[in-house]
Chain A
Amino acid sequence: MSAPLLDVRGLSISFAGRNGPIGVIEDLSFQVHEQETLCIVGESGSGKTVALLSMLGLLDPLSSRVQGSASFKGKDILSASRETLRQLRGREIALISQDPMTAMTPVHTIGWQIVEQIRAHTDMSSRAAWNRAIELLGEVGIANPRMIVGQYPHQLSGGMRQRAMIAMALSCNPSLLIADEPTTALDVTVQAQVLDLLRRLRRDFGSSIVLITHDMGVVAEMADRVLVMYAGRIVEHGPCEAIFADAWHPYTWGLLDSIPPLDGPRPDRLVSIPGSPPQPDKRPPGCVFAPRCRARTAICAEPPPRQAANGRDALCFIDYADRQARRFGLAENMDQPA
Chain B
Amino acid sequence: MTAMQAPSTFQETRPLLRVEALSKTFVVGKTFIPGSGQSVRAVDTVSFDVFPGETLGLVGESGCGKSTLGRCLMRLHDVSAGRIVLDGVDIAPLSPRQLRPYRRHMQMIFQDPAASLNPRRRVGDLLAEPLRVHNMASRTGIAQRLRELMDIVSLPAAFLDRYPHEFSGGQRQRIGIARALALEPKLIVADEPVSALDVSVQAQIVNLFSDLRKRLQLTTLFIAHDLSVVRQVSERTAVMYLGSIAEIGPTDLLFRSPAHPYTQALLSAIPVPSVAPARRRDRILLKGEIPSPANPPSGCRFHPRCPAAQERCKTERPTLTGLPDGRQVACHFPFSLQTA
B269 touches A189 (CB 8 A): yes
Chain A residue nearest to B154 (CB atoms) is A336
Contact of B204 with A274 in the complex, beta carbons under 8 Å: yes
- A271 CB contact (under 8 Å) in B2, B4, B203, B288: B203
* Contact between B170 and A337, CB atoms less than 8 A apart: yes
List the A side residues contacting B285 at CB < 8 Å: 192-193, 196
**Which B residues from 164 to 207 make CB contacts under 8 A with A?**
168-171, 174, 198-204, 206-207
State which residues 266-292 of A face B: CB under 8 Å. 266-274, 276-277, 292
Asked whether any CB of chain A lies closer than 8 Å to the CB of B231, the reply is yes
Among B62, B198, B207, point to the contact of A269 (Cβ < 8 A). B207
Q: Say whether B274 faces chain A, with CB atoms less than 8 Å apart.
A: yes
A271 to chain B: which residues have CB within 8 Å? Answer: 203
How far does the alpha carbon of A276 sit from the alpha carbon of B231 in the complex, in Å? 24
A276 partner residues in chain B, CB cutoff 8 A:
168-171, 198, 200-201
- Cross-chain contact B270 with A217 (CB below 8 angstroms): yes
Q: Which residues of B contact A220 (CB under 8 A)?
A: 271-275
Given contacts A254-B200, A276-B169, contact A189 B273 (CB under 8 A): no
Asked whether A195 lies within 8 Å of B203 as measured between CB atoms, the reply is: no
User: Inside 8 A of B81's CB, which chain A residues have their CB?
Assistant: none
Contact in complex: A188, B266 (CB < 8 Å): yes
Q: Does B227 contact A (CB under 8 A)?
A: yes
Q: Report B253-297 CB contacts with A as 1/0, cut-off 8 Å.
A: 001100000000111111111111001000101101110000000
Supposing A187-B61, A189-B265, A192-B283 touch, asked if A266 and B4 sit within 8 A by C-beta, the answer is yes
Q: What is the CA–CA distance of A195 and B273 in the complex, to the nearest angstrom?
A: 14
Closest CB in chain A relative to B59 CB, distance in Å: 10
Report the bound CA distance from A179 to B273 in whole Å.
Answer: 19
Q: Does A155 contact B (CB under 8 A)?
A: no
List the B side residues contacting A189 at CB < 8 Å.
Answer: 61, 265-266, 269, 286, 289
Within A172-219, the residues touching B (CB, 8 Å) are: 187-193, 195-196, 214-219
A270/B207 contact (C-beta < 8 A), A262-B228, A262-B267, A262-B270 known: yes
B46 contacts the other chain (Cβ, under 8 Å)?
A: no
Does A126 lie at the interface of the complex (its beta carbon under 8 Å from any beta carbon of B)? no
Size category of the binding interface on chain A: 35 or more
Asked if B114 CB lies within 8 Å of chain A CBs, one says: no
Binding site secondary structure of chain B: helix
Return chain B residues, CB-CB under 8 Å to A160: 289
Q: Are A261 and B225 in contact (CB under 8 A)?
A: no
Complex Cα–Cα for A193 and B290 (A) = 13
Contact of B206 with A266 in the complex, beta carbons under 8 Å: no
- Asked whether A272 and B266 contact (CB < 8 A) given A187-B62, A244-B274, A336-B154, the answer is no
**Chain B, Cβ-Cβ closest to A334:** B204
Of B198, B228, B283, chain A has the most CB atoms within 10 Å of the CB of B198
CB contacts (< 8 Å) of A335 on chain B: these are 203-204, 207
Q: Are A258 and B255 in contact (CB under 8 A)?
A: no
CB pair A188–B61 under 8 Å, yes or no, is yes
Closest to B2 in A: A268
Shortest Cβ gap from B273 to chain A (Å): 4
Tell me whether A99 is interfacial, beta carbon within 8 Å.
Answer: no
| Shortest beta-carbon distance from A78 to chain B in Å | 29
Interface centre among B4, B171, B201, B270, by most chain A C-beta atoms within 10 angstroms, is B201
B309 within 8 A of partner (CB): no
A330 to chain B, nearest CB (A): 16
| Docked CA distance A45–B177 (Å) | 25
A58 at the interface (CB under 8 A from B): no
Flag whether B68 is at the interface (Cβ < 8 A): no
Among A43, A215, A274, the residue within 8 A (CB) of B271 is A215
Which chain B positions have C-beta within 8 A of A128?
none
For chain B residues 58-92, which have a beta carbon within 8 Å of chain A?
61-62
Identify A266's interface contact among B169, B232, B275, CB under 8 A: B232
With a cutoff of 8 Å between Cβ atoms, the chain B residues found around residue A214 in the complex are 198-199
Question: Is the CB of B320 closer than 8 A to any CB of chain A?
Answer: no
A191-B269, A196-B285, A218-B271 as given contacts; A337 in contact with B203, CB under 8 Å: no
Interface set of A (CB-CB < 8 Å, partner B): 43-44, 143, 157-160, 187-193, 195-196, 214-221, 240-241, 244-245, 254-256, 258-263, 266-274, 276-277, 292, 333, 335-337
| Extra contacts besides A258-B202, A258-B203 (7): CB < 8 Å | A189-B265, A220-B274, A254-B200, A256-B273, A267-B232, A268-B4, A336-B154
Could you name 13 residue pairs across A and B whose Cβ atoms are closer than 8 Å? A157-B289, A187-B62, A188-B266, A192-B268, A216-B199, A220-B274, A244-B274, A260-B228, A261-B228, A266-B252, A270-B232, A273-B201, A337-B170
